Structure 1
């Protein structure tokens, strides 16, 4: 049979399959507007976030959830405020490629009411339109909820956080007067610190040390939180450096120091990292990497990912040098290289040459992500978990605020601190592909449940609330402190509907 004749026969067979009833290929599963689901905090008036968000789960006409993407443009979201002529809202519908979509929007003004239309081919999805009875406040609106418990209920905050309970358990009481004298004397010359006082929901600060640029992150979260809820009066010190500071034993007089990172050898009170904090505050702003954008950029489906362990970064730890060395010896198992030399410049000839920066989203072309400490904990872990690759996490003495809730072999694959079993763990993952995929998806679900913006705001508020209860003397605005003012919002001011009794006195 000639090649031309064979081609004609195949063409006729294809036409026959599409024309004759009963001879068609399996139909593509289409989502149903009535059966699909819509839910999330962005559909609630009182959940005020820099970028609000909610979810859409595509389902077919029988109510079964789709598990693959029906197409990036499947759902359309429109928002209108009937009372206002214009709405200044930036909306993004992010396809998570698992049958679900994350819708995020950033409001640049406050609206009397907000109508959210979720559409599938011009049909309303689920209970659309969703009507948020106003006022619906934007991020810049200074209108705090006077009751912390009401705010927590609106935000669906958990009753407690294990890390906060653990950090504060070692302090039977906190004396702001004593700390105001002792902490600057002990740490103020060699370290970079901020001394904060929250009084009547206003923020005051004094800085100590030379390198206090990271104060901007703490200022920003305090101002943002105080616009949303009445904070307790409190006084506390924030360590702006990488390394946690309080090394005294519980039997000695310890000082409560708030830090971005904790360690097994210190007693600092841990907050969400400055990186994660900024990504929450600036979502849909100037920061491109955040917990939402990652979810829409997880690379190819699992079977199509490269079965190599991947890492890129700078030379901030000896184990990172060892990893690059191991990668050269085992290139089929590990793809690791430096994008910057800073700490071990004299070794650049041994571990270079440097490679170009890789977009973080391109990390997820690989099944296995290696997470190794930098100067302290590697602050990329939340974003690695949010993807759909499995994380190989180095055992570490450093930790972030959520590590106590992570489980080895459930959310990540553990690797020894010296990386001595890394190749063995990569091989295990290759030999147990379904189990590795299951761990990757569990880690992804953990990030979705615990590391989104609403959770970060809840963590900060619960930390401040519980810490304030320990104070045995009155927090004061002390000499040398400056008032940290709210940013002006001249273009789109809002009128707070709540009475501000303390401000009016």
Structure 2
């Protein structure tokens, strides 16, 4: 009888252990990434390990690289390396020649349809509103400029509000995005969309996605409503067909709905189902609805995608397609540590989704690392700090050693009400 009781207690203990929640919300940050450990726990078939070896090695290497990173403790922006990268080209040019060209900055602004900003006695000036290409984008930029205006010396600088960079070899121009695969010489600034100026997305965001400080809270609440253990173990993409680059993912979704849901929505150019790859357009969804899926795809748009930073805050695994177009904060995002990169031809996307489904705890940690980095580092305070460091570095290099006087047709920029 005593032996029977002991056995009964052991059986009850084992049953209780089998019900313990092992989802990522309850895991230690010090998960052992040694590959056989994962395969024993998640697959229980060691012979399958070679199928995922290349992904495991990439993740292990990314973790090792991340641990070996050194931080810049000189009170610089957390994203300061991108500032250094952007000015490296210009530091190898004739600064005197560049300064002489910038004397006619107003003419340059008209020629390339740029905004010329002037800082004079801690006041901000620019062209009149009717001369702006995208006024709302300027409003988003000016929110940050006015916040740091007391820290800025008298100076002038040219800002591009188009989606694509200018790539001028002899004129330093500030742009929100640029391509790494071409010789883009533009100097990156934080996009206007952190505060105002879009992008507008159909019926769900008719006046723009909205301020980053508000969206951070909205998406954080959605993350809490959809913790990892409650997310659907499929990939997800919802967007317009801005290019055929996205077609293979949508076709894969139609053939393998158990792997992902990827559908096209209407855009302004939509005329028939042919424009959405033969299917009726899907309904648009707010970003917080994306959070119910474990694997979220990000594609570039005309330039870099405004969506990327939002996807991370879902606490889902970000699958970032392509490595060409960047914003100022991309340099600190580490592939296979903060997200999983996918090539633009999508040739390996099915295997990557299968890998994610079969290595749940491993990819949940990548999702958490990506989310934590964006949440902790891409704050409004750090965006503002980046603007300040960027413009002070610009002044140090291109300060043209002459008194800046306001253009006769310029107006002072006043603080606007919150969008």
Q: What is the TM-score with the length of structure 1 in the denominator?
A: 0.59
Residues 24-54 of structure 1 show CA distances to partners (whole Å, capped at 9, x for unaligned) of x9xxxxxxxxxxxxxxxxxxxxxxxxxxxxx
Report the equivalent of 2:165: 244
How much does 1:488 deviate? Answer: 8.5
Report the equivalent of 1:290: 215
Against the structure 1 CA distance between its residues 318 and 342, is the aligned structure 2 distance closer, same or farther, given a 3 Å change threshold? farther
Note if contact 1:314-1:342 (Cα within 8 Å) is conserved in structure 2: no
Partners in 2 of 1:362 and 1:159 — Cα distance?
A: 30
How much does 1:230 deviate? Answer: 2.5
Partners in 1 of 2:281 and 2:214 — Cα distance?
A: 23
Note if contact 1:316-1:343 (Cα within 8 Å) is conserved in structure 2: no
Partners in 1 of 2:401 and 2:301 — Cα distance?
A: 39
How much does 1:210 deviate? Answer: 6.5
Report the equivalent of 2:54: none
Partners in 2 of 1:434 and 1:348 — Cα distance?
A: 38
Which of 364, 367, 372 is equivalent to 2:291? Answer: 364
Q: Does 1:473 align with 2:401?
A: yes
Higher relative contact order (CA 8 A, sep 6+): 2
How much does 1:215 deviate? Answer: 1.9
Q: Secondary structure at the match of 1:312?
A: strand
Residues 368-389 of structure 1 show CA distances to partners (whole Å, capped at 9, x for unaligned) of 0000111111111111112210
Note if contact 1:340-1:354 (Cα within 8 Å) is conserved in structure 2: yes
Partners in 1 of 2:267 and 2:189 — Cα distance?
A: 29
Partners in 2 of 1:296 and 1:405 — Cα distance?
A: 25
Relative to total residues, which structure has the larger helix share, 1 or 2? 2
Note if contact 1:277-1:456 (Cα within 8 Å) is conserved in structure 2: no
Note if contact 2:213-2:379 (Cα within 8 Å) is conserved in structure 1: no
Against the structure 1 CA distance between its residues 247 and 326, is the aligned structure 2 distance closer, same or farther, given a 3 Å change threshold? farther
Q: Does 1:485 align with 2:414?
A: yes
Note if contact 1:314-1:341 (Cα within 8 Å) is conserved in structure 2: yes
Which of 153, 177, 186 is equivalent to 1:261? Answer: 177
Relative to total residues, which structure has the larger strand share, 1 or 2? 1
Which of 316, 324, 329 is equivalent to 2:242? Answer: 316
Which of 206, 212, 220 is equivalent to 2:134? Answer: 212
Q: Does 1:426 align with 2:353?
A: yes
Aligned residues: 327
Note if contact 2:241-2:276 (Cα within 8 Å) is conserved in structure 1: no
Residues 175-218 of structure 1 show CA distances to partners (whole Å, capped at 9, x for unaligned) of 55522426744x734x5310001111100112696723222222
Q: Does 1:270 align with 2:188?
A: yes
Unaligned runs of 5+ in 1: 1-24, 26-66, 69-97, 99-152, 249-253, 280-284, 490-505
Against the structure 1 CA distance between its residues 417 and 287, is the aligned structure 2 distance closer, same or farther, given a 3 Å change threshold? closer
Note if contact 2:338-2:369 (Cα within 8 Å) is conserved in structure 1: yes
Against the structure 1 CA distance between its residues 165 and 476, is the aligned structure 2 distance closer, same or farther, given a 3 Å change threshold? farther
Note if contact 1:176-1:235 (Cα within 8 Å) is conserved in structure 2: no
Greater C-alpha Rg: 1
Report the equivalent of 2:328: 401
Q: Secondary structure at the match of 1:170?
A: helix
Against the structure 1 CA distance between its residues 304 and 212, is the aligned structure 2 distance closer, same or farther, given a 3 Å change threshold? closer
Report the equivalent of 1:53: none
How much does 1:428 deviate? Answer: 1.1
Measured on the aligned residues, the alpha-carbon RMSD in Å equals: 3.1
Q: Secondary structure at the match of 1:411?
A: coil
Q: Secondary structure at the match of 1:316?
A: coil
Note if contact 1:315-1:343 (Cα within 8 Å) is conserved in structure 2: no
Report the equivalent of 2:151: 230
Report the equivalent of 1:192: 113
How much does 1:401 deviate? Answer: 0.6
Against the structure 1 CA distance between its residues 306 and 378, is the aligned structure 2 distance closer, same or farther, given a 3 Å change threshold? same
How much does 1:359 deviate? Answer: 2.4
Q: What is the TM-score with the length of structure 2 in the denominator?
A: 0.70
How much does 1:476 deviate? Answer: 3.6
